[in-house]
Amino acid sequence: MTDAERAARLRDAARRAPATVDLEELGPHLAADSIEARARALETLGRLALAGRDVESYADRLDRCYGDRDLLDAPVRLSTERDSEAWVQPRALAFAVAALALTGAVDRGDAIRSAVNAYENQHPEFDAEMRTNTAIREVGWGFASVVIFTDGYVDVILSLVDRDDDTVRRVGASALSDVAEEYAPIRDEYPDETPRLVADAAERLATDSHPRVRYHAAFALTEYAMDRPELVRPRADVLSAALRDEAALVRKEAAATLGFVGAADAVPALRDLAETDPDERVREAAADARESLESERE
């Protein structure tokens, strides 16, 4: 039996009966020559953490994984429901970091910063801003996948968006926007926490100092507004104010969301944005929203 096959057996045991897994078997697989074995061992580690096993003794193993370029690319397939054909696929390292961070097995800030730095180094061909944005989306999706997969940890994700550290806050905001985008298509329903997530996104959009956090908040509101406009409509004042945001992507999402929620009072501001905004994407979004709102009046 190969290392990959032995690691797969351990992973399958962690899926079926995590309490039965011998933690001592995990170490050799995390250090195996086979990339398949290492990736499966990381998935096992994450699943055991989520099942409540004490995996803190393995926390330092993550430090050895951050420079493993193969692991950074390796995906994990997580079924969200037993009979579902829908899958969420985070990267193995991002999933393990998220699972250990969300369950408190590692320091959340340190783990997030280390993971973002690892994924930044994965794309030297990008400029600095794109490397960081890409890395944050990768790590954020790892956190979102755990929330979707377990139907939990929303409180922890929201606590990340309260942090002073920009990187941690951005990962939390990215995760929340991914939950907004993917939860309903995967589950065919919105989580009970949706009103709270809408309120938090509106607060971030109105107050956060980082433009990428505001963008993720605005994107989350757009996703919720497309199918649950009644939950976002009371936030029209925040969205209207965001039409003047310094970040073009924030203005774009705010304009689109105003159209989805039927905010007729925003038509004059949208018309002005469609005619004068320096960014073509913003102009197009504002024009589409204005046309939608005006057609509703007829």
pLDDT at 187: 83
Per-residue pLDDT tens digits for 89-117: 999 999 999 999 999 999 999 999 999 99
Q: Rounded to whole angstroms, how far apart are CA atoms 117 and 197?
A: 27
**Closest-CA residue to 28 (of 49, 52, 44):** 44
pLDDT at 85: 58
Q: Rounded to whole angstroms, how far apart are CA atoms 92 and 97?
A: 9
Which helix (H) or strand (E) is 216 found in, with range? Answer: helix 211-227
HEC readout, 262-273: CCHHHHHHHHHH
Q: Rounded to whole angstroms, how far apart are CA atoms 285 and 287?
A: 5
**Closest-CA residue to 76 (of 119, 42, 26):** 42
pTM of the model: 0.94
Q: Which two tokens stand for residue 182?
A: 């993917």
Average pLDDT of the residues of the chain: 93
Domains of the chain: which residue ranges? 1-188, 192-298
pLDDT at 214: 98
Q: Rounded to whole angstroms, how far apart are CA atoms 251 and 273?
A: 9
Whether CATH 3.40.50.920 fits 192-298: no
Q: Which two tokens stand for residue 12?
A: 């399958």
pLDDT at 81: 65
pLDDT at 83: 54
Q: Which two tokens stand for residue 263?
A: 């905010």
Q: With H, G, I as helix, E, B as strand and everything else as coil, classify residue 91.
A: strand
pLDDT at 86: 60
pLDDT at 59: 87
Q: What is the mean pLDDT of each run of 10 residues along the chain (298 residues)?
A: 92 94 92 94 96 92 89 86 68 96 96 96 90 97 95 95 96 97 88 94 97 98 95 97 98 98 96 97 97 82
